[in-house]
Amino acid sequence: MRIPPIYNITSEMIELLGKIEAIKQYLSTINIPFNIRQKIQRISLLKSSLYSAKIEGNPLTIEDYKDSPNKIKQLEIHNIETAIDYIFKLKLKTIDNLLIKTIHKIVMNNIHYQAGYFRREMSAIFNQVGVAVYVCPPPNQIEPLTSQLANYINSSTEKFPLIKAFITHLVFEKIHPFLDGNGRVGRLMISLICQIDNYQFKPHVSFEESLNENKNDYYYSLDIGLKNPNDYLLFMLKTFHNQAEKLKKEIELGINKKNVVSLPPRQEEILEIIKDHKNVSLDFIKRRFLKIPNRTLRYDLRKLSNAGLIIKIGRTKGSFYKIV
């Protein structure tokens, strides 16, 4: 396996990188009220964790994550959140195999018995009907290959952090160093490279959300990535740019909204649920807040309505709430 694969920075890639950089600079200079910045950052980090797990088949949503009876699925998301927090606190400028294993240990904590250890057996990547579409390198090649990948990351060979991050993700998935959790850790490698190279968006871009929306194309681009790295890079750049644009619009909407109010956490969460689902009934909200009395939820909805953030449609049991 050649690390990195041979790729070219095309004019289309340069244009996308320029657009992404423009959004990054805009978000770093615009005056975003603290409550809006804090809220969007918190939700974006949760979405990164949730959608990274969802790509791997986790069914939980923002609405049912915290109260889900499925503790393993809940733990999958929690562990990714913990790993993101760990990465964002790193002050390192280089990586090594130990750091990769540490991130895997966090992600697979209390989920897999080999958390933090490279695999010791052969592995393959299978398609949806169970046919092996890629045979991974044997165990005795994992340490040398991940060391080569670390050398690429630590070098100044690639001047664009996002290109380096996406190439790292591709190569990592092809090495497939762990028995389980490679997808989740591989996507975290993107955040890791951006952290090391000081290329962070503030607030965070929940890139994984767009990857999940385009999951088939994402898997296809990974599948052909080593043979056609330029096509893979274009897909990743376009997807990242789309999510960055979403973030920009979300922030502008929050800033331009009349009567911006600082809401208690539960009311913020209810507002986000209504935003995500357009039309929401009280029963739907109750399923998300099983331990909260109905009268308290009605009070929260009334406060949101009085603040001009939502409106109630109808007066019967069939009534619902929507964003103004």
- Domain ranges for the chain: 11-256, 265-323
Ligand-binding annotation for 199, yes or no, is no
CATH number of 265-323: 1.10.10.10
d(CA 232, CA 109): 31
Output the six-digit token pair for 126.
């299978």
Ligand-binding annotation for 182, yes or no, is yes
In a 3-state reduction of DSSP, which class is residue 278? coil
Of the pLDDT bands very low, low, confident and very high (cuts 50, 70, 90), residue 258 is: very low
Using DSSP bridges, classify how beta strands 132-135 and 124-126 pair: parallel, antiparallel or unpaired.
antiparallel
Strand order in the sheet with 320-323: 279-280, 320-323, 310-313
Whole-number pLDDT of residue 261: 61
More confident residue, 142 or 254: 142
Of the pLDDT bands very low, low, confident and very high (cuts 50, 70, 90), residue 37 is: confident
Whole-number pLDDT of residue 257: 62
150-187 in b/e form (b: 16+ CB < 10 A) is bebbeeeebebbbbbbbbbbbbbbbbbbbbbbbbbbbb
pLDDT beyond 90 at 318: no
Average pLDDT over residues 38-51: 90
Task: Give tens-digit pLDDT for 174-207.
Answer: 999 999 999 999 999 999 999 999 999 989 999 9
Residue 108 in contact with residue 94, Cβ under 8 Å? no
Whole-number pLDDT of residue 268: 85
Of the pLDDT bands very low, low, confident and very high (cuts 50, 70, 90), residue 148 is: very high
Average pLDDT over residues 158-173: 97
Residue positions annotated with a catalytic role: 176
d(CA 42, CA 61): 15
Rounded (10°) CA dihedral 73, 284, 307, 248:
40
Ligand-binding annotation for 300, yes or no, is no
Average pLDDT over residues 229-233: 98
CATH number of 11-256: 1.10.3290.10
Average pLDDT over residues 213-227: 95
Ligand-binding annotation for 42, yes or no, is no
Whole-number pLDDT of residue 260: 53
Ligand-binding annotation for 218, yes or no, is yes
Of the pLDDT bands very low, low, confident and very high (cuts 50, 70, 90), residue 217 is: very high
pLDDT beyond 90 at 96: yes
Contacts of 208 (CB under 8 A, 6+ apart): 47, 48, 49, 51, 52, 55, 187
Phi then psi for 320, rounded to 5 degrees? Answer: -145, 170
Average pLDDT over residues 120-143: 89
Longest alpha-carbon distance in the chain: 67
